[in-house]
């Protein structure tokens, strides 16, 4: 199951987050979402837990719990919505 974890401390690492969730079962992957320009955490992450029952137990137990002085929001991740393509900008094609 893919799990969304929001309202994370900007200082928490993927390894620390994995350790918290491994108390409930196996964790396949952890990905803290980062700003592409600064590399700073955006304060949310996605985890993948293979066992549905363990993932649900983690969600039920950790939602609204404090981690790193912040109250986490933990729930099943929704599928990513399709976005409209961004318009292309061509700044180098002007002729003088």
What is the fold of 2-76?
Alpha-Beta Plaits (3.30.70)
Beta-sheet strands, E only, within the chain: 2-6, 29-34, 41-48, 66-67, 70-71, 73-76
pLDDT in tens, 38-92: 999 999 999 999 999 999 999 999 999 999 899 999 999 988 777 777 777 666 6
For the cut 90, the answer to whether the pLDDT of residue 24 exceeds it is: yes
8 — phi, psi (to 5°)?
-85, 150
17 — pLDDT class (breaks 50, 70, 90) = very high
Q: Give me the residue spans of the domains in the chain.
A: 2-76
For the cut 70, the answer to whether the pLDDT of residue 15 exceeds it is: yes
- Tell me, what's the pLDDT at 92? 61
pLDDT in tens, 27-49: 999 999 999 999 999 999 999 99
């Amino acid at each position: 199951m893919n799990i969304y974890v929001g309202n994370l401390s900007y200082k928490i690492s993927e390894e620390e987050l994995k350790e918290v969730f491994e108390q409930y079962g196996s964790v396949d992957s952890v990905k803290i979402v980062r700003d592409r320009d600064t590399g700073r955490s955006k304060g949310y992450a996605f985890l993948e837990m293979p066992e549905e029952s363990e993932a649900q137990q983690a969600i039920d137990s950790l939602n609204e719990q404090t981690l790193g002085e912040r109250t986490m929001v933990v729930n099943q991740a929704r599928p990513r919505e399709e976005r409209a393509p961004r318009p292309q900008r061509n700044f180098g094609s002007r002729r003088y």
